Structure 1
Amino acid sequence: MYSKDQASQLKQTFWTTFGHYIAPQLSTEGLKVNWINYKTGLKHVFFKMQADSKAAFIAIEITHADPGIQELVFEQFREFKKLLEGQLGEEWDWNLHIHDEYGKVITRISKTLPGVSIFKKEDWPALISFFKPRIIALDEFWTDAQYSFEVFK
């Protein structure tokens, strides 16, 4: 087991490594992007990548405090489900009003990679291979779909 500081350092090292690996990748529009802290331009909509000792996931998270607004944004994403999953090349899990790791009610559209650990360096290639094409596909999707979400700005 790792101490809290060691675990934090190892996570930071992974995300730094991933950041360096994906940094040369330009956005769909040909711009430099901070892939780890991807900006959607919508205050309560995030593209999130997370890994722990058991699994990894990548997600679109809708975190507005009002569950009704979350549902409206979620329904707007549903309108684009075929486009999104076409860009991704796979189906994702669609979860309206779930609890995040802090107990906050959020809405999440996600894909999980089970059986990997951010604490095992031998799993890092699998994690990078999981995250990279999906965050790039999310960027491609968002380039096409973002204007339909302007009402939520």
Structure 2
Amino acid sequence: MYSREEVKQLKQLFWTKFGQFMSLHSAADGEKVNWINYKTGVKHLYFKMDADNNTAKIAIIWSHSDAGIRTLMAEQFMQYKGLLHATLGEDWEWDLDSYDAYGKPYCQIYKTLVGHSIFKEAEWGELIAFFKPRMIALDEFWSSAKYAFDIFK
């Protein structure tokens, strides 16, 4: 079992290494991008990566406090579902009615990888191989679809 400080350090080291690895890649529009803290330009809309002791997850998350806005954003993503899945090269899970640990509602489109731990440095290659192509594909998708979400800025 790891202490809280060890958990923090291992996660920070992984994400630092991942960020260094990804810094070699430009965004689809040719701009420099912070892959770890990807900016969509739309408030309450995030591309998020996370990993723990058994699961890695990459997701599109929108968490506007207004349920109507969340629904409109979900409808907008549904309009682009074909493009999203074609760009990703795979289908992702759609969960349009989730709540975080604090009871705050959010929606997500996500993909998970089970059986790999961020706490085992030997498995970092598999985690990077999971995150890298999907994050690059999300960026490519977003470079085409982002204009349809300007109404939410």
The TM-score by the shorter chain falls in which range? over 0.9
TM-score, length-scaled by structure 2: 0.97
Q: Indicate yes or no: 2:144 matched with 1:138.
A: no
Structure-2 separation of matches of 1:49 and 1:120: 17
Aligned residue for 1:11? 11
**Structure 1 residue 100: Cα displacement:** 2.3
Residue type of the alignment partner of 1:147: Y
Aligned residue for 1:78? 78
Residues 67 and 97, structure 1, Cα contact 8 Å, conserved in 2: no
What is the SS of the residue equivalent to 1:34? coil
**Structure 1 residue 31: Cα displacement:** 1.1
Structure-1 separation of matches of 2:103 and 2:11: 22
Structure 2 spans left out of the alignment, 5+ residues: none
**Structure 1 residue 10: Cα displacement:** 0.3
Structure-1 separation of matches of 2:79 and 2:46: 18
Q: Aligned in 2, Cα 1:129/1:4: closer, same or farther, shift over 3 Å?
A: same
Percent identity over the alignment? 55
Q: Name the stretch that deviates more: 94-103 or 138-147.
A: 94-103
Residues 57 and 110, structure 1, Cα contact 8 Å, conserved in 2: yes
**Structure 1 residue 55: Cα displacement:** 0.2
Aligned residue for 1:2? 2
**Structure 1 residue 37: Cα displacement:** 0.3
TM-score, length-scaled by structure 1: 0.97
Give CA deviations for 1:35-76 in whole Å, capped at 9, x if unaligned: 000000001100000001110000000010112211110110
Aligned residue for 2:61? 61
Structure-2 separation of matches of 1:101 and 1:55: 17
Q: Name the stretch that deviates more: 104-113 or 92-101.
A: 92-101
Aligned residue for 2:39? 39
Aligned residue for 1:113? 113
Any residues of structure 2 matched to 1:90-109 within 5 Å, and which? 90-109=90-109
What is the SS of the residue equivalent to 1:33? coil
What is the SS of the residue equivalent to 1:117? coil
Structure-1 separation of matches of 2:68 and 2:146: 20
Structure-1 separation of matches of 2:19 and 2:85: 25
Aligned residue for 1:30? 30
RMSD of aligned alpha carbons: 0.8
Number of equivalenced pairs = 153
What is the SS of the residue equivalent to 1:116? coil
